Amino acid sequence: MRLTQLSGNRSWRRNLKKCIALVALSLLLAGCGEVVAPVATPTPTPTLANGVCNPSCSTDTSPVPTQAPIPTPTADVSDVKQNIANAIQADNDTVTYCLIVNAATTPVVTSAGQAITITSNTSSEPGFINGDRAKECIFDLEQDAWTADPSASQVTVHVEILLQDQYGKQSTGDVAWAVLKQATERQFAWANLSYTQAWADYDQTWVLPGA
């Protein structure tokens, strides 16, 4: 009878120890769960390496507004014509060989886009301009125009005189004209050229027969 009772006491004690061990283990696991918490992975900071964004120089993904291109300012046509007119008046050779003595003989500058036309009308002073002098006048006017406006596409110069036909009828018309285009003018070294050399190099020329 004593042996059975002793055996039962031992079994009860073993069960009590197991319960205590289980409670202790549960408390230990609960405490570890609070200590071991998941650590958030840090987001990489954007950097600039060798001029390339890594991974991105900006976290703003909103679209960037595109600015309209700023138009390149162009010279006013009236300013271009006035600059050429001023250059002509300031050139003593042009004044001499184009016979600029008054308002009537002052060359008129017109334009169509970047094409410049200069007309030197000397019909009010008949007898002073012949074909050779007209060529020299054209040379001076061409040089003045290109100096004042290097962006011109071409410069055409007319020299007009008083003409008379076989019936005695008088009119104003060209004694000579020349056209010089930009591509050709870019080859000119004006300081080293004479008006006769330049005449052979213009893109187009014409002289009144017999002038």
- Residue carrying structure tokens 């054209």: 138
Total domains present in the chain: 1
The answer to the question of residue 11 being in a domain is no
Q: Assess if residue 12 is contained within a domain.
A: no
**Is residue 193 assigned to a domain?**
yes
CB-based contacts of 194-197 (< 8 A; 24+ apart in sequence): 194/139, 195/135, 195/136, 195/138, 195/139, 195/140, 196/135
Which bin fits 189, alpha (ψ -120 to 50), beta or left (φ > 0)?
beta
Domain assignment of residue 20, yes or no: no
Is 2 domain-assigned? Answer: no
Q: pLDDT tens, 132-144?
A: 999 999 999 999 9
Confidence of residue 71 (pLDDT cuts 50, 70, 90): low
Element housing 205 (H / E) = strand 204-207
The answer to whether residue 168 sits within a structural domain is yes
Domain that residue 119 falls in? 77-207
In a domain, 21, yes or no: no
Q: Would residue 85 count as lying in a domain?
A: yes
Q: Give residue-wise pLDDT tens across range 102-161.
A: 999 999 999 999 999 999 999 999 999 999 999 999 999 999 999 999 999 999 999 999
Write the CATH number for 125. 3.30.70
Q: Where are the beta strands (DSSP E) in 35-181?
A: 47-49, 52-54, 108-112, 115-121, 154-164, 170-181
Angle (CA) 78-73-179 rounded to 5° is 50
Tens digit of each residue's pLDDT (9 = 90 or more) over 170-200: 999 999 999 999 999 999 999 999 999 999 9
pTM confidence score? 0.65
